[in-house]
Structure 1
Amino acid sequence: MAHPAFDDFLPEALQFHAPEPLVDIGANLTHESFQRDLPAVVERARAANVTTLILTGTDLEHAKQAALLAEEHLGFFATAGVHPHDASRWTPALGREMAALYAHPKLVAVGECGLDFNRNFSTPTEQEHAFEAQLALAAESGLPLFLHERDAGPRMREMLKSWRDDLADAVIHCFTADKETLYGYLDLDLHIGLTGWICDERRGHHLRPLVSDIPLNRLMIETDCPYLLPRNLPSKLKGRRHEPALLPWIAREIAHWYGISEAELGQATTQTAHTFFRLSAQQLKESA
C-alpha cells in the first residue's frame, strides 16, 4: 500500500513500482501545476522506484528554478536552455547568463533547445540562431545536449552534423518522428528519449515497430510531465496531470515493444542515463 498522504491522488491501479530503479530524463517539475503538491509528487516518484529525475529548464527563469529544486532534493538534477518556442528572446546577454549556470554542480545538460517547425512560435530563422548559439555553449561547456525537434528533422540533422565533432553526447528528447529521422539521428551517434507518446493509439502507433531499432545503450525514458499523460492507463486520473510516478507504466509499454522484460529495460536505460548525464557514483550515492 502507498503512503496515506497520496492515496487520494493516485488510484491504486496507478500506484506502480518499477522492478529496477528508473531515471526520468524529462520532468518539468517547475511547471505551475506542481506548486501545490510537489512534496507528494516527489514521494510518489520514490514509491514508484523512480529514483533520479532530470528537471527540464526551458528558459532562464525555469532553469534557475530547476537548479534550486535540484539543490533541495536528493536524486534531482537539472538542464538549462532556451526552448525553440522562446528563441525570439535569445540575446548575447542571455547566452552569458546561461553559460554561468553551467557551472552549477547539479546542472547536467544544455537544453531544452533545438528546432520546432510545427508551431513556429519563433520564426525558423530565430530558432536556428538561438540553437546555433546553444550548440556553441554545449561545445564550450562540454555538457551533453537535451534536444527538442518537431517537424524539423532534416535541418536539425544538418546543424548537428556540422557541430558533431565538437559536442559531447546529445539526446533527442520525446522522439516522435519517423524511421528515416530516427536512423539519421542514430547515424549521428545520438541518444533517443521515449515518452508516453508510445502509449497513444492515435498518434504513437508508428513508433512501436521502431523501438527495437534503438540500441539499448542509446535509449532513455521520460514522462515529459505534466504533459503527455499516457492514454492507455488502467485507471482514469483526475485532472490528467502527468507525473514521474507513472514512468514505470511507460517503461512497461516500451519493454513490451522492445521484446525484453521491464527489469532489463529499466536496468539498461538507467545505466545509459547515468553515463549520459555523467552522474558519478558519489552523486548517485548522495542521491540515493
Structure 2
Amino acid sequence: MGVTMFDIGVNLTSSQFDRDRDEVVTRAFATEISGMLITGTNLQESEAAQQLAQRYEHCWSTAGVHPHNSSSWTVEVAEAIRQLAQQPRVVAIGECGLDFNRNFSTPQEQEIAFSAQLSLAAELNMPVFLHCRDAHERFITLLKPWLSKLPGSVLHCFTGTRQELEECLANGLYIGITGWVCDERRGLELRELLPLIPADRLLVETDAPWLLPRDLSPKPASRRNEPKNLPHILARIAQWRGEDLPTLSAITDQNVKAVFGVDF
C-alpha cells in the first residue's frame, strides 16, 4: 500500500510564499502529498485561495472569515462569500469560529460572523472548517444547533484539553492535527490525546507557513513551514498512536474525501 496524504490546512495565500509559491507547491507534490486545501481567512484571502486552487492541480479551497477578521463581516461580505462558495474548487465554509485568546475582533463580532457562516454552510449544504481557541464552551454552544444541518465539521489545528476533545468527538467533529504535536514544550498534552481520536475522525495538516515541526532533523534554516513537511507530521502521529503509517494515511485520505467530497 502506497503512502499518500492530504494537507487540509495550507495558508498558501500568505505573503511568506510570495517569492516562491510555485516551488513550494512543486516541493509538496514531490513528496507523498496527494492534495491540499487552501485556507480562506477573509473575503480577499478567500478569493485568492480559490484562484490558487484553480491554478494548481489537486488543490481546493475554503471561503470564509476567520474570527480575527470578524469585524469585517457585513451583509455585503456575506453575499460575496455566498457567491464565492459556489465557485469551482471551493469545498468548505471557513475558516470560521471563535478566538477569545487575542480578541482581534470583539467576542460579539466573532459570534455574529460565526453564526452567520454556520447558517450559510447549512443553506449551501457545505462542510465547515472551524477554528477555536480559548473559547470551547461558547464555540460548542453556537455550533451544536447547526450540526444536524451540516454535511461535515472539521475543527482545524486542535490544541485543546481531553474534555474538549471528547466533547468535539461526541458531537461528530473531525479533528485536524498539526505539527504542534511535534513540539516537545507545548505539544506533549496533545500527543497524549492522539490515541483517543478514532482513525476515521482524524485529519492532518501543516497550517503552513505556521507551526513548523520543532523536531525536524536536520533543523531547517527557515522557520517557515511548508506542506512538504506533512509526511513527517503524519509519521510522528502514527508512531505516537502505535499505528501503521500506510494504513493511517489511507484512512485520513478517505476522511478527506468523506468530509470535503473531493476526488484526488
Please confirm whether the aligned pair reaches a TM-score higher than 0.5, indicating the same fold: yes
After TM superposition, the score normalised by the length of structure 1 is 0.90
1:67-82 aligned at under 5 Å gives the runs: 67-82=50-65
Structure whose CA Rg is larger: 1
Q: Which residue of 2 aligns with 1:192?
A: 175
For 2:38 and 2:189, locate their aligned partners in 1 and report how far apart those are by CA, in whole Å. 28
Structure 1 residue 62 displacement after superposition: 0.8
For 2:133 and 2:170, locate their aligned partners in 1 and report how far apart those are by CA, in whole Å. 18
**Equivalent in 234, 243, 250 of residue 226 of structure 2:** 243
Structure 1 spans left out of the alignment, 5+ residues:
1-17
**Equivalent in 221, 233, 240 of residue 216 of structure 2:** 233
Q: Which residue of 1 aligns with 2:29?
A: 46
Q: Which residue of 2 aligns with 1:151?
A: 134
For 2:192 and 2:47, locate their aligned partners in 1 and report how far apart those are by CA, in whole Å. 38
- Map Cα deviations across residues 103-155 of structure 1 (whole Å, 9 max, x no partner): 11200000000000111111111100110110111110111000000011111
SS in 2 for 1:206: helix
SS in 2 for 1:220: strand
Letter in 2 for 1:41: V
Structure 1 residue 183 displacement after superposition: 0.6
- Map Cα deviations across residues 35-68 of structure 1 (whole Å, 9 max, x no partner): 1111111111111110200000001111111111
Aligned residues: 264
Confirm or deny: 8 A CA contact 1:196 1:229 kept in the other structure.
Answer: yes
Identical pairs, percent:
47
For 2:74 and 2:23, locate their aligned partners in 1 and report how far apart those are by CA, in whole Å. 37
Confirm or deny: 8 A CA contact 1:19 1:262 kept in the other structure.
Answer: no
Q: Which residue of 2 aligns with 1:8?
A: none
Confirm or deny: 8 A CA contact 1:84 1:122 kept in the other structure.
Answer: yes
**Equivalent in 71, 76, 89 of residue 88 of structure 1:** 71
Structure 1 outlier segments of 4+, above 3 Å: none
Letter in 2 for 1:65: A
Q: Which residue of 2 aligns with 1:3?
A: none
Structure 1 residue 19 displacement after superposition: 4.9
For 1:128 and 1:237, locate their aligned partners in 2 and report how far apart those are by CA, in whole Å. 39
- 2:91 aligned with 1:108, yes or no? yes
Structure 1 residue 162 displacement after superposition: 1.7
- Map Cα deviations across residues 204-257 of structure 1 (whole Å, 9 max, x no partner): 100112111111111000000000000111112122110000000000111011
Q: Which residue of 1 aligns with 2:262?
A: 279
Letter in 2 for 1:35: D
After TM superposition, the score normalised by the length of structure 2 is 0.98
- 2:251 aligned with 1:268, yes or no? yes
- 2:209 aligned with 1:215, yes or no? no
